Amino acid sequence: MSNVANNQERLLQILIAPQITEKATRIADKHQQIAFKVRTDATKPEIKAAVELAFKVEVLAVTVANVEGKEKRAGRIMGRRKDWKKAYVSLKPGQEINFAAGE
């Protein structure tokens, strides 16, 4: 029983934020996919389960992209942003996630 509770807690921590960009909006309109920023250790089945749990929709497929952090410079000091993971979630036909509904 506690394993199931721990698993649900883990699934709720997988999704960090939706990616609301011009590219993500274009992909959502054209291919019915939603982009999410997810934890770097998340797997495709975990991402699928997390989206289904959080938004009560059916997921068709998940595509994952590892994004490397950019190197940044402040004067002579070089720095680097963290690497992160992006997930493109394809929903089954007739399914929809509306982020503006809460406003």
Each residue's pLDDT, cut to its tens digit, for the chain (103 residues) gives 456 666 888 899 999 999 999 999 999 889 889 999 999 999 999 999 999 999 999 999 999 999 999 999 999 999 999 999 999 999 999 888 877 665 5
In a domain, 36, yes or no: yes
Q: How many helices (H) and strands (E) does the chain have?
A: 3, 6
Whether 86 maps to a domain, the answer reads yes
In a domain, 6, yes or no: yes
**Assigned token pair, 25:** 């909006």
Within-domain flag for 99:
no
Host domain of residue 41: 2-93
User: In this structure, is residue 103 part of a structural domain?
Assistant: no
pTM: 0.84
Q: How many domains does the chain have?
A: 1
76 alpha carbon, distance to own chain's centre: 35
CATH code: domain of residue 66: 3.30.70.330
Pull the structure tokens for residue 53: 């749990």
- Which residues are CB-neighbours of 11 under 8 A, at least 6 positions away? 46, 49, 50, 53, 54
For residues 16 and 37, the answer to whether their CB atoms sit within 8 Å is yes
